[in-house]
Structure 1
Amino acid sequence: KIVSPGGNDPKILEDLKQEGDTVAQFNHPNIVTVFACGVVDKNYYLAMEILSGGDLKQKLASGTLDELKTLKIMKEMSSALAHSHKRKTLHRDIKPENIMFNDEGRAVLLDFGIAKAQGKVSEFTRIGAVVGTPHYMSPERALGKEIDERSDLYALGVVMYEMLIGKKLFEGEDTFAISYAHVHEPPPPLPKDKAALQPILDKLLAKSPDDRFQSADQLTVILDKWIRRLERNNSQTTQGFVPITVKSKSSKLIITLLSAIIVAGIAFAAYWYFTKEKIEVENNKLSTEMQFEMSEKLTAANRFRKMGNLKNAENLYKIVLTKYDCNNADARQYLGVLNKKALNEIIAQCKK
């Protein structure tokens, strides 16, 4: 790959080389292998592996993918993003053309051409030489706001929709119309035969980053569970599974009651745990599943706090800090308001 920016600005070429160097440091089966990169005669070059299986856009030109294949590609891409995000690099241009396949059929993410190391803004991206693709742009990016890992996950959700439905999430006459839809319009629902995957898509395509999966690792855990479920049933489709839909008042009531029971159970467990004995911090090394569990408990704690149920919120914040991560900033902040003494006791036991 050779890039010749307009004007051959030395600063742009240097920024391109720095970004290429970042990608060259990745070592992941679902991220393209870069062998060398540099600048020769004011031209930027990138030498990378050959991917003979074509790209996802070409595959979609032949029709939609079944759910199992879609989920497997999604898992490979979420794993790739988890790898780059842990190295503080956002992709910022997730789209079918940038997902290619090797001769074994494995999905590979490439073209980090507008990738950005978090906390650093390159001259190349700042001047607007590359702005990403409007069809896959997150609401916060369309609004010009600061973005993080969750913006990449939104774009991946748009790709998931396209794999399942065969068309783009939002269409429009121009970039403004498409961007407006990403910011304001609800995503079209999946058809009934694929509705079981609606909760995953809803979470990926939430307008607020806080309502999405908070990391690619969280997404990978969910995708892996679905893939194993389909493979156990020797099925390519989720049509045989009961979809989670909320259409009638009765179904809304059932889901509300079930949610209340689950939340009440969590609250009771938290209350029991903190009344039976003194606070003890475990300092666990978190697995991906434990990280997801912690995220769920933080969400429940925040919900209790906003509802004014401060005791349950306090107990859940304590669980987050003692059972999962004693350095969690959100839990520390809110527990400090609710029970400063308990927070100080936890901090005293927390390994720095």
Structure 2
Amino acid sequence: MSDVEELPPGLPRMISDRYEIESLIGRGGMADVYLALDHVLSRKVAVKVLRPDTASNPMVVNRFRREAKAVAALSHPNIVAVYDTGELPAAEQQHERLPFMVMEYVTGKTLKQVISQDAIDAEFAVKVTRGVCEALDHSHANNVVHRDVKPANVMVSDAGHVKLMDFGIARALDNSATMTQTAAVVGTAQYFSPEQARGEQVDFRSDIYSAGCLFYELMTGRPPFTGDSPVSVAYQHVGEIPPAPSQVAQDVDPIYDPIVAKVLSKERDDRFQSAGAFAAALENALNGIEFHEDQSTPATYTLPIYGNHDSTESGFAAQAAPMTTEHPVFTAHDEPVETTRHRTNRGLIVLLSVVALLAVAIASFLVIRSIQADAEKRAPVAIPDVKNLSEDDASSLAARCDFQRTR
């Protein structure tokens, strides 16, 4: 788009009396991205505007707003920043208000373009993956799961900086939020995790799996699974083991094979429990240090992720939950676990549980016996027929039946 071309209907040349639209630089599934000049700060920015043909869909509008909220809560050099948000008023040409967001303008290529155009060596692949993992560690620490990590959503700037972008299907996570609604499948088939393929709830480790798929493609030039349709690819994610990178590309060092095998594990508990741990294993391999399974350190905290709450209206700054052994997520710094103290505490808990159960059993027995005794006292008895008997005979019969004579 040149300066003399007309803008789409409903899109003014000047937005919020501040951002002057210059040219179209990108087009996505639900929005267009324009290069603009911020007249207040005298800098180039990218303005993402929802297209009029999608603005009438509430689900698309909510997704767009969710992206703005998710990224606005994050501040990291490896994440494309959001500076401002707002809505364009309805116009005569279009009757819907158009949400927009003003973002950091990054000059460079998407990782998808880099893979298709350039030969990639192991050092560059590890560097890019490290940048993505640092961005994920930050978003996960702020309880945001990206859910669509793929080469098209990673920018490599002209200066070589890595930027993760497009949090359009990201979800915030609090004590009741879920990552995926029931039976909903979100993400991109070649890069989403087995739990996403099954339509299950996802957590931080789903992003780590996708980062593993991204690294696999950087090293081999192709994703771990390909197929004729997204459904066939999804089945492979769920039930098949991808070939080792060194088997796909002969120039790949086999030292990376066990790392890739771990990060692409079908079960979440078997993967790296933080993006940083995955990146650290790659850097060690780059320096010739082989990865062994016992190098993986378990996470020291987790967050509850199960429920039916939609995070569209929820906050994005949930606090980390206390340490637990269920659904480990990650930590920024792992500490050794005191196993002796844990065993002692576990034994004490078992002993107290047994004592409590015995106390409950004894109390229950005494209560039941008391109820039975009371019932026996109140049980009806047959009254003997003393008609036509003498007084002595009647008294004798009543005494044998435990009846007492009263006057």
Measure the CA separation in 2 of the matches of 1:342 and 1:84: 42
More helix by share: 1
Measure the CA separation in 2 of the matches of 1:10 and 1:37: 18
Alignment of 1:90-169 (within 5 A): 90-118=145-173, 119-120=176-177, 131-169=186-224
Cα-Cα RMSD: 3.4
Structure 2 counterpart of 1:2: 49
Partner AA of 2:65 in structure 1:
K
In the alignment, is residue 214 of structure 1 matched against residue 273 of structure 2?
A: yes
Q: CA deviation at 1:11?
A: 6.6
Q: Unpaired segments of 5 or more residues in structure 1?
A: 230-240, 245-254, 263-286, 298-315, 323-331, 344-352
Partner AA of 2:218 in structure 1:
M
Measure the CA separation in 1 of the matches of 2:58 and 2:230: 30
Partner residue of 1:47 out of 102, 110, 116 = 102
In the alignment, is residue 202 of structure 1 matched against residue 202 of structure 2?
A: no
Q: CA deviation at 1:50?
A: 1.7
Task: Give deviations 1:107-138, integer Å, cap 9, x for gaps.
Answer: 1000001111124469xx85999821011010
CA contact (8 A) 1:137 1:155 kept: yes
Mark the CA change 1:145 to 1:317 in structure 2 (over 3 Å): closer, same or farther. Answer: farther
Partner residue of 2:339 out of 299, 310, 317 = 317
In the alignment, is residue 16 of structure 1 matched against residue 82 of structure 2?
A: no
In the alignment, is residue 69 of structure 1 matched against residue 124 of structure 2?
A: yes
CA contact (8 A) 1:218 1:289 kept: no
Structure 2 counterpart of 1:32: 80
CA contact (8 A) 1:217 1:288 kept: no
Give TM-score scaled by structure 1 length: 0.64
CA contact (8 A) 1:8 1:43 kept: no
Structure 2 residue matching 1:37: 3-state secondary structure: strand
CA contact (8 A) 2:217 2:224 kept: yes
Measure the CA separation in 2 of the matches of 1:139 and 1:11: 25
Partner AA of 2:104 in structure 1:
E
Q: CA deviation at 1:190?
A: 1.9
Task: Give deviations 1:236-277, integer Å, cap 9, x for gaps.
Answer: xxxxx5877xxxxxxxxxx99xx8xx9xxxxxxxxxxxxxxx
Mark the CA change 1:97 to 1:212 in structure 2 (over 3 Å): closer, same or farther. Answer: same
Task: Give deviations 1:218-249, integer Å, cap 9, x for gaps.
Answer: 2243344345x2xxxxxxxxxxx5877xxxxx
Structure 1 residue matching 2:280: 3-state secondary structure: helix
Larger Rg: 2
Partner AA of 2:50 in structure 1:
V
Partner AA of 2:204 in structure 1:
E
CA contact (8 A) 1:70 1:164 kept: yes
Mark the CA change 1:50 to 1:289 in structure 2 (over 3 Å): closer, same or farther. Answer: closer
Mark the CA change 1:243 to 1:336 in structure 2 (over 3 Å): closer, same or farther. Answer: closer
Structure 2 residue matching 1:31: 3-state secondary structure: coil
Return structure 1 stretches of 4+ with deviation > 6 angstroms. 127-130
Alignment of 1:185-334 (within 5 A): 185-191=240-246, 193-227=252-286, 229=287, 241=288, 291=334, 294=336, 317-318=339-340
Structure 1 residue matching 2:253: 3-state secondary structure: helix
The alignment-based identity, stated in percent, is 33
Mark the CA change 1:335 to 1:13 in structure 2 (over 3 Å): closer, same or farther. Answer: farther
Give TM-score scaled by structure 2 length: 0.56
CA contact (8 A) 2:70 2:171 kept: no
More strand by share: 2
Q: CA deviation at 1:335?
A: 6.4
